[in-house]
Amino acid sequence: MPRKKKARREIALAEYVSRRRELSAFMDEGSIAIVPGANPKIRNGDVQYPFRQDSDFRYLTGFDEPNAVFVLIPGREHGEALLFCRERDNEHERWHGHITGPERAMQLFGIDDAFPVSDIDDILPGLIEGRSKLYYAMGVDRDFDNQVIDWVKKISQSDHLGAESPGEFVQLDHYLHELRLFKSAAEIALMKLAADATVKGHCRIMQKTQPGMMEYELEAELIHEFSINGARYCAYPAIVGGGANACVLHYVSNNEVLADGDLVLVDAGGEYEGYACDLTRTFPVNGRFSESQARVYEVVLRAQEAAIAAVRPGNTWNDPHEAAIRELSKGLVTLGVLSGNLSDLIGEEAYLPYCMTKTGHWLGLDVHDVGDYQVNGQWRVFEEGMVTTIEPGVYFNENMMEVPSEYRGIGVRIEDDVLVTKSGNEVLTDQVPRTVDEIETLMGATSD
């Protein structure tokens, strides 16, 4: 029996239409917004990196092909949502795969008017002409910035009487990113699928890890599990750091041997339909925490628990960080790394050499997702539908001579993804063991 294609959950067309409507409502009358999609990027020679659509563009269109530009013109009589995209081309498609083309893009993506992207220089200046404001994310893509400037210049230099170029350029990001910060039910469903695949990957490696394996073997197991569960791409390069490599925050070499008696820190998440999961666990390579490792681990765990408890509507984005810092500082005293009065230590930020990061970041289409952390100089208040990571960590480098020697070379981070709900929060990645006992139990269990 032939296997049936697995159904994939996606954002419905109606939701894209309503996102565009919401963005239009933010925009001034008589304005235009231009949102370019991503272009293919060369890796080397004739090889490209896997294509990843620009998150803003994808959020507004759902269109996942390169070389496309979305244009929104609120109130335009012949349609507000416009797309420039590649034309069908049999020969190209024989080599490189399917192209949707402008006509089908209109039907499939609810676009009002679509044109070949090869005609953009001829068509777009005419659409910009007469608009008072141009919304565009200047400074992200220098080549596209120049194109926009050329189109505007073309209007000013045009010889037909009364040609008017926009009087004002406005950064689009703020409006759009405010929308992206609040996740709809459909987005949360996709984030849960990214989380499910990621949870499976982390559980798999806890069961497979053995002393003597290479860090990249764990990476391979993760990618395998993400992929077979529908998250074909990692949301960011996996960090698999054994021993002191865990203290390098963005360690991605992943090419060393995992030693008996060391911990390994694994920060890896899958991406499902563009939505990221971001998950870290730190566990013993041989399946048992040493007493010193467990002491450091428990400090981070308490900090994470306190921080997660502080994620709820009405609290500010910084409350979990403050809760984590309090527990981390207390723990650093217990471990004999810091000494003195707790409030003074917190006030002096004495923890900073060992806990260098903020406790979280927004999560969504981008792993470090968009959205302001402060509003008018005040920390943002949590509201239902926001998703943040909570990821406290302690990193004791081998050369930190003030740290008791039993702790040097230990790095621990525990990271989960937390959705703000109406009355509190939901941890999307809760199914990966987190306590010492839970981890040791799973690691003692054999895998297939």
Which residues are near Mn ion by CB under 5 A? 267, 278, 389, 391, 415
Nearer to Mn ion, 166 or 274 (CB): 274
Strand partners, 91: none
Cα separation of 328 and 413, whole Å?
12
Nearer to ligand GLY, 190 or 367 (CB): 367
Residue 85 · residue 71 · CB < 8 Å: no
- Among positions 224-253, residues that touch ligand GLY (CB under 6 A) are 236
Nearer to Mn ion, 62 or 241 (CB): 241
Nearer to ligand GLY, 305 or 391 (CB): 391
Closest C-alpha to 127, from 150, 105, 155? 155
Sequence-distant (≥ 6) Cβ neighbours of residue 208 within 8 angstroms? 218, 221, 447
Work out how close the CB of 366 gets to ligand GLY at its nearest, in angstroms, rounded to a whole number.
Answer: 11
Work out how close the CB of 232 gets to ligand GLY at its nearest, in angstroms, rounded to a whole number.
Answer: 18
- CA 87 to chain CA centroid, nearest Å: 31
Work out how close the CB of 345 gets to ligand GLY at its nearest, in angstroms, rounded to a whole number.
Answer: 25
* CA distances for 103 relative to 99, 108, 111, 241, angstroms: 11, 9, 9, 49
Nearer to Mn ion, 166 or 360 (CB): 360
Q: Starting from the edge strand earliest in sequence, which strands make up the sheet with 31-36, in order?
A: 113-116, 81-85, 69-72, 31-36, 133-135, 168-170
Work out how close the CB of 371 gets to Mn ion at its nearest, in angstroms, rounded to a whole number.
Answer: 14
Work out how close the CB of 255 gets to ligand GLY at its nearest, in angstroms, rounded to a whole number.
Answer: 19
Nearer to Mn ion, 129 or 278 (CB): 278
DSSP string over 300-348: HHHHHHHHHHT-STTSBTTHHHHHHHHHHHHHHHHTTS--S-HHHHHHT
Work out how close the CB of 339 gets to ligand GLY at its nearest, in angstroms, rounded to a whole number.
Answer: 30
- Among positions 328-367, residues that touch ligand GLY (CB under 6 A) are 361, 367
Q: Quick check: helix, strand or coil at residue 84?
A: strand
By the rule CB under 6 A, 267 interacts with ligand GLY: yes
Work out how close the CB of 278 gets to ligand GLY at its nearest, in angstroms, rounded to a whole number.
Answer: 5
By the rule CB under 6 A, 278 interacts with ligand GLY: yes
Q: DSSP state, 402? A: T
By the rule CB under 6 A, 129 interacts with ligand GLY: no
Helix H or strand E segment including 197: helix 185-208
Q: Which two tokens stand for residue 25?
A: 């409502």
Binding partner selected for residue 236 from Mn ion, ligand GLY, none, CB under the kind-specific 5 to 8 Å limit: ligand GLY
By the rule CB under 6 A, 370 interacts with ligand GLY: no
Cα separation of 379 and 373, whole Å?
6
Among 391, 409, 416, 417, binds ligand GLY (CB under 6 A): 391
For ligand GLY (CB under 6 A), the number of binding residues is: 7
By the rule CB under 6 A, 300 interacts with ligand GLY: no
Contact set with ligand GLY (CB under 6 A): 236, 267, 278, 361, 367, 391, 415
